[in-house]
Amino acid sequence: MVWTVLSLGMMLVAAKLLAGNGRSAAGWALAFASAAPLVAIMNLAKAVFIWLALLGLAGFAVTLATGLTNRSQGQQASAES
């Protein structure tokens, strides 16, 4: 469990870096490096499946958090009575 959580943490940081700059070398490197804790403790197929799932989860979490906290991306919709 600890290693999977570590992998998720690394993936979240990678996603945050890539959200800011899609070409960030550090972001891409960290994204792939986040597979290492998983490969270290389980067989490759299992590690790949979990890594792919973590990629989706991290990307979604960072995108959601950025969108919800960054109101300057656009005006708030006005309600019509």
Residues that bind other proteins (CB under 8 A): 1, 4-5, 18-19, 22, 41-43, 45-46, 49-50, 52-57, 59-60, 62-64, 66-68, 71, 73-80
Q: In the complex, what is the shortest distance from the CB of residue 77 to other proteins, in angstroms, rounded to a whole number? A: 4
Q: In the complex, what is the shortest distance from the CB of residue 5 to other proteins, in angstroms, rounded to a whole number? A: 7
**What Rg value do the Cα atoms of the chain yield, rounded?**
16
Q: Which is nearer to other proteins, 10 or 62 (CB)?
A: 62
Beta strands in 27-66 (DSSP E): none
CA–CA gap between residue 27 and residue 36 (Å, rounded):
15
